[in-house]
Amino acid sequence: MTLALAADAKRPMTVEDLFRFPRISEPQISPDGKQVVYALGNVDLPGNKVVSNLWIAAADGSSPPKRLTATEKKDSRPRWSPDGSKILFESNRSGAQQLWVIETNGGEARQLTHLSTGAATGVWSPDGKSIAFVSAVYPEFSHLPFKESDARNKQRIDEQAKNPVKARVYKRLFFRHWDDYVEDKRQHLFVMSADGRDPKDVTPGDRDSYPTSTTFSVGDDFCFSPDSSHLIFTAVPAKDEAWSTNYDLCRVPCTGGSSEWENLTKGNTAADGAPSISPDGKKLAYRAQRKTGYEADKWELMTVEIDPSGKFSGEPQSLTKEFDRSIESILWTKNGQSLAFLAEDNGRVCAFAVGEEGAPRKLNPPDFAGSLATPTAGGGAFAFTVARMSHPPEVFTAMHDGDRLVVKNISKASDPVTAELDLPLPESVTVTGAGGAPMQMWILKPPGFDAAKKWPLAFIVHGGPQGAWMDAWSNRWNPQVWAAQGYVVALPNPRGSTGFGQQYTDEIAGDWGGKCYEDLKAGLAHLKAQPYVDQNRMFSAGASFGGYMMNWFQGKNAELGFKTLITHCGVYNFDSMYATTEELWFDEWEHKGPPWGGNRESYEKHSPHRLAANFKTPMLIIHNDLDFRVPVSEGLQLFTTLQRLGVPSKFINFPDEGHWVLRPANSAFWHREIFAWLKTHCPPGPK
């Protein structure tokens, strides 16, 4: 069969296909660099869950991957022991999330932890004798010996389950995070022997020793000291945690015992986190921000000399102070003379390397540039995931062959599904936005696109607002699924987007309906000028900040021309948003204080609810009960307003979802409802 015939045999992607793709994550390369272990999940749509097992593959691709664990539950987050003989992982096999271990040559997995409060995020000590992990416990019991404290925790949990009164009582803020009621629990670090004996709470007290917000979490958020005697970890602010971003690196002995933790970064009142020890044990790398209270400030890569116990013996130095991108995950090279890191760069996630001297340089092997990568190192080889808008994540390795870097796809888990589908490649265009600044935008045309015909437009705005549309795969807002319905999909990266320089990111603050809106109008104008875009069939959709922008569009649509709008978990009223969200630092940075402060105008100037008299566009609203970041009251206010005005509108509420729709059956329903709404208000397909 010719290539042309093979291409013609492919079909557009369906919503059902989205759940057929395996979901790969957390590749970890063995200490000798010869094997890679990773988690591979398969969606059980009727069961409304993802079943995940661990798989192992030869790093050089010389043999096909094989399944290491066998469960109908969820095995995840594998970590090799220092000698490479065992793999530690998380699993809910026994009900609650606990730590398990399996020999790398096979056999049955063995449960290591049995905490009443569960256990997660296991990390090996360098000497292989200990394991540290996280558990959310009641702090009032945390100074007691483990058996007694665990029994008291279990008693409290059992009493609450049996009590017919389900009232919650709060004495401070941050009693809920994103989609979970935390109440009075605290996330503490525990250390136990490698065989699971003698767990001990080493961070007792009424404070979290692990990030309570994903905003400040990337990769591993704690590590052992080089001599395995101490833990270095990302600690939540000691006070004002609901409106402070002063996360610090702290250090405690593995014997524990005190709630007074040594603060290693007390000189920085902004966030610090993600500690990583160099292979020779002489340095610590970590991420740091400079602006107090600003969650989207640029993350810099810091290094500092340490002694064997992890205590700072020098002054921290920034390796990326002049580098105008924000650092994500960090990786030491095998010789410890340089570091690799990830950073968003012009709509892609790229890998960079930097040493003690010189500027960061992009790592660009042919199949790596422009990829979404999560690198891990072992024996001089790298393992990472690669994903693009045209294919979901796969596990790749990069191995040196002399001066040449050989990159291979060693998982190939999605090949059977992608072989059936026509998955177009995105195009990148740049338009002139507000003030003459360039704005990058992805355009994804539908399968079977014919430029001689007129196509409807899907104009989708990303969340954040400090985020970006990347050339990457998503299981939630997947552009391929939208394009396959018969729409030209536009994915603009306006002011506030990350990966285009920190100034570009910063310029959204306090100006949500300003320069960002002008950028989006410029992108829309570019699309309207394309002969293949049907200006009588255009819609816009977005979630989180993108949902806010849909609400703003609702009041401005006379100058935009959208036939319908779809808003998911978006801000509607800045006053009520501030008073009901949990992360107050976000709004206080955006508006330079609370609503009663000196910048009252900021809460009013760009609040969509003030434009309600202009609302006329049919609108689909989706908002969920467990969304504590942008609470459900925002969606309810909008729906009430639209209904009272007589504007065609529909409200979809998921009581068991938070800011995102994650459960497979809910996700399938979400897609079906959206595309059914669009068939009525902005029909797909060419004309």
What is the per-residue pLDDT across 442-475, written as a single tens digit (0 to 9) for each? 999 999 999 999 999 999 999 999 999 999 999 9
pLDDT confidence of residue 565: 98
* pLDDT for residue 4 is more than 50: no
The CA R_g of the chain, rounded to the nearest whole Å, is 25
Confidence of residue 367 (pLDDT cuts 50, 70, 90): low
Count of residues for the chain? 687
Residue 302 has pLDDT above 90, yes or no: yes
pLDDT of residue 364: 66
Q: Could you give the C-alpha distances from 347 to 6, 340, 439, 448, in angstroms and in order?
A: 31, 19, 11, 25
Cβ distance 212 to 237 under 8 Å?
Answer: no
Q: What is the pLDDT of residues 492-530, one digit of tens each?
A: 999 999 999 999 999 999 999 999 999 999 999 999 999
Please give the average per-residue pLDDT across 332-360, as a whole number: 86
Give the integer Cα–Cα distance in Å for 235 and 200.
Answer: 18
Percent of the chain scoring above 90 in pLDDT:
84
Domain boundaries, the chain: 423-681
Between 175 and 423, residue with greater pLDDT: 423
- Token digits for 62? 């010389």
Q: Which pLDDT does position 371 carry in this prediction? A: 56
Which CATH number is 423-681 given? 3.40.50.1820
User: Cβ(328)–Cβ(341) under 8 Å?
Assistant: yes
Concatenated DSSP letters for 485-523?
A: TT-EEEEEE-TT-SSS-HHHHHTTTT-TTTHHHHHHHHH
Look up residue 627 and give its amino acid: D
Mean pLDDT of the 299-321 span: 96
Please report the pLDDT score of residue 8 as a whole number.
Answer: 61
What's residue 340's pLDDT? Answer: 86
**Would you say residue 6 has pLDDT above 70?**
no
At 372 the pLDDT is: 59
The string of pLDDT tens digits covering residues 233-259 is 999 999 999 999 999 999 999 998 789
Confidence of residue 591 (pLDDT cuts 50, 70, 90): very high
Least confident of 128-132, 363-367, 504-508, 629-633: 363-367
More reliable by pLDDT, 105 or 2: 105
> Between residues 23 and 336, which one has the greater pLDDT?
23
Given a cut of 60, whether residue 678 has pLDDT beyond it is: yes
pLDDT (0 to 100) of residue 613: 98
On the question of pLDDT at 1 being above 70, the answer is no
pLDDT of residue 366: 52
Output the average pLDDT for the chain: 93
pLDDT range class, residue 337, cuts 50, 70, 90: confident
Residue % of the chain over a pLDDT of 70 = 97
Q: What pLDDT digit, counting tens, does each position of 69-125 carry? A: 999 999 999 999 999 999 999 999 999 999 999 999 878 999 999 999 999 999 999
